[in-house]
């Protein structure tokens, strides 16, 4: 499983939003109340506990960046997706907190 910094993810999103010519999926595994406070535009919310029963709805071929608050839950989910055969899983290092600190200082935090 790979890691990506907020700055590197921002560069991809500011470009064409693809890795290896495939559209990137931003998978936010936080809870709905967290997602309501702040989020990266274009992210899809699927709380951590809902990932296993909904795994068939996710495209295993599509590159996935997993996002949480500080990068701990997302790393667990990324490891799970990797074990399930997903081809390109990436954890956002430092989570949404690092994104707010390093990329979008105007973002609300909690």
Q: Is residue 23 part of a domain?
A: yes
- Tell me phi and psi for residue 52, to 5 degrees: -55, -45
Question: How many CB atoms sit inside 10 A of residue 110's CB?
Answer: 10
Number of domains in the chain: 1
Q: Is residue 108 part of a domain?
A: no
Domain assignment of residue 24, given as a range: 2-102
Q: Is residue 51 part of a domain?
A: yes
The residues, ordered by sequence, that sit 6+ positions from 110 with a Cβ below 8 Å of its Cβ are 34, 37, 38, 69
Q: Are strands 22-23 and 25-28 parallel, antiparallel or unpaired?
A: unpaired
pLDDT tens-digit readout, 17-35: 998 889 999 999 999 999 9
Q: Is the pLDDT of residue 1 over 90?
A: no
CATH of the domain at 53: 3.40.250.10
pLDDT tens-digit readout, 50-100: 999 999 999 999 999 999 999 999 999 999 999 999 999 999 999 999 999
Q: Is residue 44 part of a domain?
A: yes
**Phi/psi-derived region of residue 87, left when phi > 0, alpha when psi is between -120 and 50, beta in every other case:** alpha
pLDDT of residue 50: 98
Q: Is residue 110 part of a domain?
A: no
Distance, in Å, from the CA atom of 104 to the CA atom of 108, rounded to the nearest integer, reads 9
- Supply the DSSP symbol for 67: E
Which residue numbers are catalytic? 68
């Amino acid at each position: 499983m790979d890691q990506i910094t907020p700055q590197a993810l921002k560069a991809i999103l500011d470009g064409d939003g693809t890795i290896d010519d495939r559209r990137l999926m931003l998978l936010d595994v936080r809870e709905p109340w967290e997602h309501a406070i702040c989020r990266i535009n274009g992210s899809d919310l699927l709380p951590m506990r809902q990932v296993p029963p909904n795994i068939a709805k996710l495209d295993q071929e599509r590159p996935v960046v997993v996002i949480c608050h500080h990068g701990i839950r997302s790393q667990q989910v990324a490891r799970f997706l990797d074990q399930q055969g997903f081809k390109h899983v990436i954890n956002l290092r430092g989570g949404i907190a690092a994104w707010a600190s390093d990329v979008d200082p105007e973002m609300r935090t909690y």
